[in-house]
Amino acid sequence: MMPFLTEKFGNPSSIYSYGRESRLAIENARKTVAKILHAHPAEIFFTSGGTESSNTAITAAVHDLGCRHIISSPLEHHATLHTVEYLNQKGEAALSYVKSGTNGHVDLEDLERILGESGEKCLVTLMHANNEIGNLLDIHAVGEICKKYNAIFHSDTVQTVGHYPFDLRNTPVHFITGAGHKFHGPKGVGILYINENVQIKPMIHGGSQERNMRAGTENLYGIVGFAKALELATERYTEDSMYIGGLKRYMADQLKENIKGVYFNGDTFGESLYTVLNVSFPKTEKSEMILFNLDIKGICASGGSACTSGVDQGSHVIRAINNNPNQVAVRFSFSRHNTREEVDFVVSTLRGLI
């Protein structure tokens, strides 16, 4: 990214040489991303991140593709949930939520039932991997069900782009999303994949950037950084996924061994992200302040308990699958930069806190 932050300052929309240099960098980044995801470069659009990408796809499905019924899940990221709720409240689309089991997996039979009973054209929007509990969706199975009922399929793949191999030429999906900061890239840049058979209108109007799909001067440095980070993440996928998955399993084993009453949320050791471990601890006076106390020790983890007292509503995901007011849920995330020594430090700190 550095040359574009220092010397190569041309506006990609300009016709002079500095601009052409920047334009070339963007198109090369697009080709890199397309090649890694096995898509066509014309199907890749750069955005400000996963939220914008999901908003664009969901809104376009209703406004441009004639979807009058949205089928989603209460476990989705708020970028999806708040968008579908908004469209429903405005009376633009009916909204149904597909059931999920206590392990957090979407009930595909229920999805098929809702699609079969709907008299309207449907948009199905289900995330590939849950950002809190890590559960993975069978994206191919859902795509095939959608195909059967002529439904549009959008999947929030923010947690999986850069972490799993993709073959979009052979995946029955209309829209997917990605965000650079999920795989060590810059923040504030993402992608929206729009299948070549889908025609939608722009959500942001103005200039002709992103082939008339997203007006506004491009985030040149972010786009270059996104493509490079994706390239590095993909090259290291095999070794990194094994190493990081090993850390996750090691921490789960250490927690079970050292802390009484721990409970893992989601399909932790089955179809699940190798980067996320969601743990419920018994609720005590000490554990209610768990995130604050971990932070004091220099441990970064995020929360979400089933508790709904005060301002903290807790996690909507945990409430949906494990609404136990006597537990406090914490999400631990892992990367290739973490070590077993760090896991040991976290576990011994948690022992002292609970």
Q: Can you state the angle between helices 139-148 and 108-117, rounded to 10 degrees?
A: 20
- Give the integer Cα–Cα distance in Å for 253 and 155: 32
pLDDT at position 26 is: 98
- Give the integer Cα–Cα distance in Å for 83 and 192: 16
pLDDT at position 305 is: 42
pLDDT at position 313 is: 66
- Give the integer Cα–Cα distance in Å for 185 and 189: 9
- How many other CB atoms sit within 10 Å of the CB of residue 28? 14
Nearest to 80 by CA among 51, 105, 106: 51
- Give the integer Cα–Cα distance in Å for 155 and 177: 7
**Which segments of the chain belong to CATH 3.90.1150.10?**
237-353
Give exposure, 65-86, as e/b (b: 16+ Cβ within 10 Å). Answer: eebebbbbbebbbebbbebbee
pLDDT at position 294 is: 93
Catalytic residue among 67, 122, 146, 307: 307
pLDDT at position 308 is: 36
**Which segments of the chain belong to CATH 3.40.640.10?**
2-235
pLDDT at position 297 is: 95
| DSSP 8-state secondary structure symbol assigned to residue 163 | T
Name residue 28's amino acid: N
CATH topology of domain 2-235: Aspartate Aminotransferase; domain 2 (3.40.640)
pLDDT at position 288 is: 72
pLDDT at position 203 is: 84
- How many other CB atoms sit within 10 Å of the CB of residue 348? 12
CATH topology of domain 237-353: Aspartate Aminotransferase, domain 1 (3.90.1150)
φ, ψ for residue 237, nearest 5 deg? -50, -50
Judge whether 307 counts as a catalytic residue: yes
pLDDT at position 168 is: 98
Cα separations (Å) of 133 from 61, 83, 145, 159, 268?
27, 21, 24, 11, 8
Sites in the chain below the pLDDT cut of 50: 305-311
